[in-house]
Amino acid sequence: MPTVIVESFIRAIERHDLDLALTYLAEDCDYDNVPMGSVKGRDGVRATLAPFLGMFDTIEWVTSHQVSSGSADDGVVMNERLDRFHSGERWLELPVAGLFVVRGGQITLWRDYFDKETLLSAMATLG
Amino acid sequence: MPTVIVESFIRAIERHDLDLALTYLAEDCDYDNVPMGSVKGRDGVRATLAPFLGMFDTIEWVTSHQVSSGSADDGVVMNERLDRFHSGERWLELPVAGLFVVRGGQITLWRDYFDKETLLSAMATLG
């Protein structure tokens, strides 16, 4: 099931284990934050996520709906999530819809749809 | 398949047939444009969509990925779309990820994730 790959990836993010999370991505994966642009490869994902995730002591990506097709060798997963990030005494919450294309047991495309202003406004409220 | 309901709904939108499109929605459906708010019921959807769709002579919602689970009686569909709207000599294009919950052959929840600023900027370029 391609969902196992995606769920393992998200659990690693939640545990702040970026090294482990990156193993679920293909070396040359595309990571597209739709309103903010895309980066290429594990190095691009690390450079994008490491400073962001490092701002928070607790991370929860709560999936409300998830559907998929195909297999871990050739599959597609989409999920609806509330990505929650805790810093100081505040939670930053971002509603997200994600697309994951899985090939050969790894995520080759990760594309998140969200509202940029919702993210930036929430970040501005952090201490 | 719940996808048949969703695809029929989208084809009706593309044909500017809002009356037909609304028959695919439950009477008390929720329509949530995540960054812009939600409306309730067919009347709410009509009040939201009629003036917007009326601005355009051609509408194309191009689905790049779609996954689903369940049946038309109890199912979930998510799709990744490029919603395209033509007015005058311009195309407005909006990347969207959509969630549709289907119950009893009708859409009870339609939730679209997109970037509000991308939509407003594109609308500002129309004549």
Tens digits of residue pLDDT in A87-104 = 999 999 999 999 999 999
Question: What number is the average pLDDT over the span A38-47?
Answer: 98
Whether chain B has a CB inside 8 Å of the CB on A95: the answer is yes
Question: What number is the average pLDDT over the span B47-68?
Answer: 97
CB atoms A80 and B78 under 8 Å: yes
Spatial separation of the C-alpha atoms in residues A67 and B69, rounded to whole Å: 6
Whether chain B has a CB inside 8 Å of the CB on A25: the answer is no
**Catalytic site positions of B:** 83, 112
CB atoms A99 and B111 under 8 Å: no
Tokens of B34: 């995540």
**Has domain A2-124 been given CATH number 3.30.470.10?**
no
Scored b (16 or more CB within 10 A) or e, A73-106 reads eebbbbbbbebbbbeeeeebbbbbbbbbbbbeeb
In this structure, the number of other CB atoms found within 10 A of the CB of residue B64 comes to 11
Whether chain A has a CB inside 8 Å of the CB on B113: the answer is yes
**Looking at this predicted complex, what is its ipTM?**
0.96
Confidence (pTM): 0.97
Spatial separation of the C-alpha atoms in residues A27 and B37, rounded to whole Å: 38
Whether chain B has a CB inside 8 Å of the CB on A32: the answer is no
CA A2 to chain centre: 15
Question: What number is the average pLDDT over the span A69-88?
Answer: 97
pLDDT at position A127, please?
64
| A65, A99, A114: residue with CB nearest B65 | A99
On whether the CB atoms of residues B72 and B57 are closer than 8 A, the answer is: no
CB atoms A34 and B115 under 8 Å: yes
**Catalytic site positions of A:** 83, 112
Q: What percent of chain B has pLDDT over 90?
A: 95
Helix (H, G, I), strand (E, B) or coil at A102: strand
Query: What phi, psi does A62 have (nearest 5°)?
Result: -95, 115
**pLDDT surpasses 70 at B115:** yes
CB atoms B118 and A35 under 8 Å: yes
Burial of B117 from C-beta contacts in 10 A (0-12 / 13-18 / 19+):
middle
pLDDT band at B126 (very low <50, low <70, confident <90, very high): confident
